Amino acid sequence: MRHSLWLVAMLLALLLSDLPLAKAQDSSPASQRENDNESPLRRGSNEFGVWTGYSPSSFKLKGQTEDRKLFLLNLQYARTLFTTCPLTLKYTAEIVPVALEMQPTQVFLVNGTVLVNPAGTVYGAGASP
């Protein structure tokens, strides 16, 4: 189960990394862009984005976190609210529909009693308005 979940997460990350969801290039000719003093962003323009992340090992700076793996899927939306030559104001919202943490078996000793927390995957999600 643990190996198949890891494989599904990696395949999902690979598939989503090649999706052409956003086009950032300007299709106007170069000569027209050179003469244009306006910002390339327009008020009311929308942007959509997807990114994934995977950490095959956990960095240990402080504490006892070891042997953990993390997978994230993030969807992003941005809208340009105001733009001038030196300044642009955007509203950005992000949704994290999938956050997986794979953790190993843990053994604790509490008041002389051995407690075992079996290996498993912790599921999570989040949003940022």
Instruction: For residue range 43-93, list pLDDT tens digits in order.
Output: 888 999 999 998 887 776 776 667 888 899 999 999 999 888 888 899 999
Q: Tokens for 9? A: 């997460």
Contacts of 104 (CB under 8 A, 6+ apart): 66, 67, 68, 119
Q: What is the predicted pLDDT for the residue at 84?
A: 85
Q: What is the mean pLDDT of residues 3-12?
A: 65
Say what percent of the chain tops pLDDT 70.
65
Higher-confidence position of 11 and 61 = 61
Helix (H) or strand (E) holding 128: strand 120-128
User: What is the C-alpha separation between 104 and 56, in angstroms, rounded?
Assistant: 13
The pTM of the full predicted model, rounded to 2 decimals, is 0.55
For the ranges 25-34, 60-69, 97-106, the one whose mean pLDDT is highest: 97-106
Cβ neighbourhood burial of 101 (10 Å; 0-12, 13-18, 19+): middle
pLDDT above 60 for 21: no
Spatial contact of 121 and 99, defined as CB atoms under 8 Å apart: no
pLDDT above 90 for 9: no
pLDDT band at residue 22 under the 50/70/90 scheme: very low
